[in-house]
Chains A and B, each alone.
Chain A
Amino acid sequence: MVPTDLRYTKEHEWVRVEGDLATIGVTQYAADQLGDVVFVDLPEAGRSVEQFGTFGVVESVKAVSDLFAPLSGDVVEANAALATQPELVNREPYGGGWMLKVRVADPAQVDELLDAGAYDKLTAEV
């Protein structure tokens, strides 16, 4: 079971909404599928992201994958630790491996996302 306090995209990103601030990362399932993450390309603070639009790129040894934003908003902070420790994405995908903090533009967009049960079901089908 994935953390129940988070919401999820079908592309395997998670989001934690606290007030008008959203923290975004990728799920354990995504991290496992990617394999060893060696590079994460994230937008700088001040840039805006669109719900379900690409906001960055994660590269493992084998492959490159786009990252999709669960919600629209302005980037408040990108996780600087990933520049030197990209392996945090594999080790602590829901903790130290977080990617972006975003000022939420429209809280109603959360309803477009999967809850933990629906996300578990999605990954069980794959």
Chain B
Amino acid sequence: MTETRDQAVALTPLVETHRSLGARLIEFGGWLMPVQYTGILEEHRAVRERAGLFDLSHMGELFVEGPDAGPALAAALVSDPPSLAVGRAHYSMICTPTGGILDDLIVYRLAPERFLVVANAANAHVVSDELAERLRGFGAVLDDRSLATALLAIQGPESGAVLQPLTGIDLAALRYYAIAEGSVAGIQALVARTGYTGEDGFEIFVEWGRAAELWASLLDAGRKRGVIPCGLGARDTLRLEAGMPLYGNELDTETNPFEAGLGRTVKLDKPADFVGRAALEKVVRDGPAKRLVGLVVRGRGIARHGYPVVADDRRTGVVTSGTHSPTLNMPIAMAYVAPGDGEPGTILGVEIRQSRVAAEVVALPFYRRPR
């Protein structure tokens, strides 16, 4: 007999709600999550045209607090959290000493000495352990509240109109990548104007036990505006159209932020030394070894994760994510290619099953919301 590990899949506080809504549930990042309710295309369009409601309670919520919380995070991450104003957030990465990406994160400054770091579900344990290690010697403590904090997101052009009547927080004053504390439908919450869909929207952190109540309130308030529950399937097509990377596809420990086109998150000019600095400085000096590009498939078929990319007859890279774009109604993909093959307008080939299909390099994102 082979050794079997009894690794139970984790459940969000909304799993029964999802079941009752007829969701198809899949394992994702160690969690049982809804991939779709009514259909990916319908859910995708709801977010682009109205708004959709997502359960993101699988994400990791790591609170870092103490007089050295800012400097500790500056030493642990590639970004410079002390530069954040209270109530603001930025996108960041935690890297290995060789510059590989351990996870991509959002860092929120909740108070002068209190930060919230949101990690991907599959990496939450790794990031929690690594942060705890990197905080050692600083006057800062890590409180991993991933299993005590639920996260719901309402995303789409109507999300503000749905959410505002439920909260005393002035959403018009809550800027993109800002966060405020307040009450939503009578529930104590942190409300952030962040998301992973390319639309305006909000992410709402509440106590684990209040998630079902909040979900019901949001769905109820949004019903007349056509808000529907949305699963991870639509989340994936939405983020791909918006050119946002997914850890495990575009990002991994073999990839550095500059290769991923996210060099802007790396603050080499910050005073702090940080894990990965020397390696990342070398990447800046030598240039990245590969380049993340957008592809539009010009032939038949969809370029999917793992399909080879060729330039003339030379293998130049690999597709990291690909799908049919519901908004653009064409096959889109992201891929790593050799730096010289990544200029927009370049025609490359993708090996789709047995045939080579033409694909054009395009600037990311594929979709930008009208403002």
Same complex = yes
List residues of chain A with CB under 8 Å of any chain B CB: 35-36, 38-39, 41, 57, 59-62, 64, 90
In the bound complex, residues from chain B placing their C-beta under 8 Å from that of A90 are: 39
Whether the Cβ atoms of B302 and A62 lie closer than 8 Å is no
Q: How far is the CA of A38 from the CA of B237 in the complex (A)?
A: 13
In the bound complex, residues from chain B placing their C-beta under 8 Å from that of A38 are: 41, 302, 324
Q: Which of B289-310 contact A (CB under 8 A)?
A: 300-302, 304
Q: Which of B20-52 contact A (CB under 8 A)?
A: 35-36, 39-42
A83 to B, closest residue via Cβ: B300
Q: Which of B39, B42, B236 has the most CB of A within 10 A?
A: B39
In the bound complex, residues from chain A placing their C-beta under 8 Å from that of B236 are: 62
In the bound complex, residues from chain B placing their C-beta under 8 Å from that of A41 are: 300-301
Q: How many A-B residue pairs have CB under 8 A?
A: 39
Q: How far is the CA of A39 from the CA of B35 in the complex (A)?
A: 20
Whether the Cβ atoms of B301 and A36 lie closer than 8 Å is no
B42 to A, closest residue via Cβ: A36
Whether the Cβ atoms of A39 and B326 lie closer than 8 Å is no
Whether the Cβ atoms of A61 and B301 lie closer than 8 Å is no
Q: Taking A35-B39, A35-B40 as contacts, is the C-beta distance between A59 and B233 under 8 angstroms?
A: no
A36 to B, closest residue via Cβ: B41
Whether the Cβ atoms of B40 and A57 lie closer than 8 Å is no
B331 to A, closest residue via Cβ: A39
The contact sample of 11 A-B pairs, CB cut-off 8 A, is A36-B40, A38-B41, A38-B302, A39-B324, A41-B300, A59-B302, A60-B40, A61-B233, A61-B326, A62-B35, A64-B302
Q: How far is the CA of A35 from the CA of B233 in the complex (A)?
A: 10
In the bound complex, residues from chain B placing their C-beta under 8 Å from that of A64 are: 302, 304
Whether the Cβ atoms of A39 and B301 lie closer than 8 Å is yes
- Chain B interface residue count, Cβ-Cβ cutoff 8 angstroms: 18
Flag whether B175 is at the interface (Cβ < 8 A). no
A64 to B, closest residue via Cβ: B304
Q: A36-B39, A36-B40, A39-B324 are known contacts; what are 4 more A-B pairs with Cβ within 8 Å?
A: A61-B237, A62-B236, A62-B323, A64-B302
User: Which of B300, B324, B353 is in CB contact (< 8 Å) with A61?
Assistant: B324
Q: Mark B341-359, 1 if CB is under 8 A from A, else 0.
A: 0000000000001000000
User: Which of A35, A39, A57, A59 is in CB contact (< 8 Å) with B36?
Assistant: A35
B319, chain A: closest CB distance, angstroms: 12
In the bound complex, residues from chain A placing their C-beta under 8 Å from that of B42 are: 36
Whether the Cβ atoms of A57 and B233 lie closer than 8 Å is no
Q: How far is the CA of A38 from the CA of B325 in the complex (A)?
A: 9
Q: How far is the CA of A58 from the CA of B172 in the complex (A)?
A: 45
Q: Mark B314-348, 1 if CB is under 8 A from A, else 0.
A: 00000000011010000100000000000000000
Q: How far is the CA of A62 from the CA of B233 in the complex (A)?
A: 7
In the bound complex, residues from chain A placing their C-beta under 8 Å from that of B35 are: 62
Q: Mark B170-183, 1 if CB is under 8 A from A, else 0.
A: 00000000000000
Leading 7 A-B pairs by shortest Cβ distance? A38-B324, A36-B41, A61-B40, A59-B302, A36-B39, A36-B40, A62-B233
Q: Taking A35-B36, A35-B233 as contacts, is the C-beta distance between A61 and B41 under 8 angstroms?
A: yes
Whether the Cβ atoms of B353 and A57 lie closer than 8 Å is yes
Q: Taking A59-B324, A61-B237, A62-B233 as contacts, is the C-beta distance between A39 and B302 under 8 angstroms?
A: yes
Q: How far is the CA of A41 from the CA of B355 in the complex (A)?
A: 12
A47, chain B: closest CB distance, angstroms: 14
In the bound complex, residues from chain B placing their C-beta under 8 Å from that of A35 are: 36, 39-40, 233
Q: How far is the CA of A61 from the CA of B234 in the complex (A)?
A: 9
In the bound complex, residues from chain B placing their C-beta under 8 Å from that of A59 are: 301-302, 324
A15, chain B: closest CB distance, angstroms: 24
